Amino acid sequence: MGGMGTMSRVEDYARALESLSGAECLRLEDGGWGVAPGGTAEAAATLRFAHEEGIAVCPWGGGTKQGWVEAVRPGLILRTHRMAAVREHTWQDMTCTVDGGCTWSAMQGELARHGQMVALDPLWPDRATVGGVAAANDSGALRLRYGSLRDLIIGMTIVLADGTVAKTGGKVVKNVAGYDLHKLMTGAFGTLGLITEITFRLHSIARDTRSVTASSGDVGALGRLMLSLMDSHRAVQSMQLRGDGEGFHLDVRLAALPEVLESHGAGLVADAVGMGLATAETLTEVWTARERLFGWGDWVVFKATMLPTMLAEVAATVHGLGGSSVGQSVGVLTGRVPALSWPGVETMRGRLEAAGGSLVVLERPDGMAVDRWGAVPSALSLMKEIKRQFDPKGTLNPGRYLGGI
């Protein structure tokens, strides 16, 4: 992986980069060395040097999702914390440009001064960086109303593996013909380029909201309520289906003008009660329930995709395996099961893949051998060719992604 034989050699490279590019040389927590560029130009000089020297580089933001893909042994860790500014907030046009190393919560705090937000609710926003969220393509329950991350990004500045700076969206100073760059970078886990800036479309922060939770031991009834709400004209902002040791819960947040909110909220409660479901005002902490599925040691955490009509069935299966889950109503579910229940998860994966879905392992106990990715997609050869064209020497995160990309 990139020709770094000894710790002293790693330090030599880091210090050489510091003098060459202006990037700060860092002694890392594990005793290793890394570099921290202060902007796009320094990041470009760093990657150009690494590319020429044959050094593998691992971009690192908040580190919250490094375990979601295969481990690598890079020559250098490239930290992004020195690229952490909200560069521009054009509130009249409802757009902003933000450095890739800015934390998600810091960005949202700046935008909130004008009553605006990037309408996405990723995991661990106080630590996760804007570039890292994009690289992992993370999103939460707000996706129902506002769309996925790819729908919210209108431009990027990217440093490619050889140090080339590419921009997409808005003012384009360099085009890579044939590719929609920011959509390629979203979800690529840093294997195609380093995201140094992102331009987002913004939405107004809802002034008036109401959240209701319907609970039942019968997940099928909650699934039917969820699907009926998706087909209704009620002002649903976000919705999630949770399964835990206490049963199943459908959390629904409405956002509208006060008079609309009152009628839609009353209608929601009436529908739930009519189906024999218990209802209560939603506790604020349920919207971070997905975070609490991680970090349990002897458990497997996975992300599954499916049609929304399958969500209740999959939540019931996870519950039957002794696990917990949080499912987004668009058909994305994060689940946690005991490691001993992994064979049951493999069976469930087969059913999902047969229906056009997927199941990817995000977290597993140390030393546990599991198939992280599942069935190999038909597009794998194309994905490998894109990696070859963008990064022919394997400089950026080699081997991290599906198929050893």
The pairing of strands 57-60 and 76-79 is parallel
Q: Looking at the domain assignment, is residue 63 inside a domain? A: yes
Contact between residue 63 and residue 190 where contact means Cβ atoms under 8 Å apart:
no
Cβ count near 108 (within 10 Å): 18
Q: Which has more pLDDT, 1 or 64?
A: 64
- Alpha helices per DSSP H over 81-211: 104-112, 130-136, 143-146, 149-152, 181-185
At 107, give phi and psi (nearest 5°): -60, -50
Q: Looking at the domain assignment, is residue 369 inside a domain? A: no
Which residue, among 182, 153, 177, has the nearest Cα to 167 in the 3D structure? 182
Residues 144 and 196 reside in one and the same domain:
yes
Assigned token pair, 29: 């927590």
Residue whose entry in the numeric block shows the structure tokens 């991680």: 294
E strand or H helix at 382: helix 380-390
Tens digit of each residue's pLDDT (9 = 90 or more) over 180-196: 788 899 999 999 999 99
Count how many domains the chain has.
4
Q: Identify the domain boundary among 159, 188, 204.
A: 204
Residue 288, SS3 per DSSP: helix
Residue 1's alpha-carbon distances to 4, 33, 34, 55, in angstroms, are 8, 16, 16, 7
DSSP 8-state code for residue 396:
B
Q: Looking at the domain assignment, is residue 386 inside a domain? A: no
Residue 176 has pLDDT above 70, yes or no: no
Residues 139 and 106 reside in one and the same domain:
yes
**CATH number for the domain harbouring residue 275:** 3.30.70.600
Alpha carbon 114 to its chain centroid, in Å, reads: 25
Tens digit of each residue's pLDDT (9 = 90 or more) over 76-96: 899 999 999 999 999 999 999
Residue 145, SS3 per DSSP: helix
Assigned token pair, 50: 């690494």
Cβ count near 204 (within 10 Å): 12
Letter for the amino acid at 248?
Answer: F
Residues 241 and 159 reside in one and the same domain:
no
Assigned token pair, 128: 């996760």
Domain that holds residue 158: 86-204
CA atoms within 13 A on the CB side of 401: 21
Q: Identify the domain boundary among 47, 81, 115.
A: 81
Residues 244 and 163 reside in one and the same domain:
no
Residues 107 and 178 reside in one and the same domain:
yes
Residues 217 and 300 reside in one and the same domain:
no
Tens digit of each residue's pLDDT (9 = 90 or more) over 95-146: 999 999 999 999 999 999 999 999 999 999 999 999 999 999 999 999 999 9
Mean pLDDT of all residues in the chain? 91
The residues, ordered by sequence, that sit 6+ positions from 333 with a Cβ below 8 Å of its Cβ are: 303, 304, 305, 306, 311, 314, 315, 318, 325, 326, 327
Residue whose entry in the numeric block shows the structure tokens 């009628």: 263
Residues 69 and 98 reside in one and the same domain:
no
Tens digit of each residue's pLDDT (9 = 90 or more) over 199-234: 999 999 999 999 999 999 999 999 999 999 999 999
Residue 13's alpha-carbon distances to 27, 44, 139, 220, 236, in angstroms, are 12, 16, 36, 58, 53
At 22, give phi and psi (nearest 5°): 90, -5
Confidence of residue 8 (pLDDT cuts 50, 70, 90): low
Residues 100 and 185 reside in one and the same domain:
yes
Q: Identify the domain boundary among 286, 321, 355.
A: 286
First to last CA, the chain: 13
DSSP per residue over 219-243, as a string? HHHHHHHHHHHHTS-S-EEEEEEEE
Residues 92 and 190 reside in one and the same domain:
yes
Confidence of residue 57 (pLDDT cuts 50, 70, 90): very high
Cβ count near 161 (within 10 Å): 23
Residues 200 and 215 reside in one and the same domain:
no
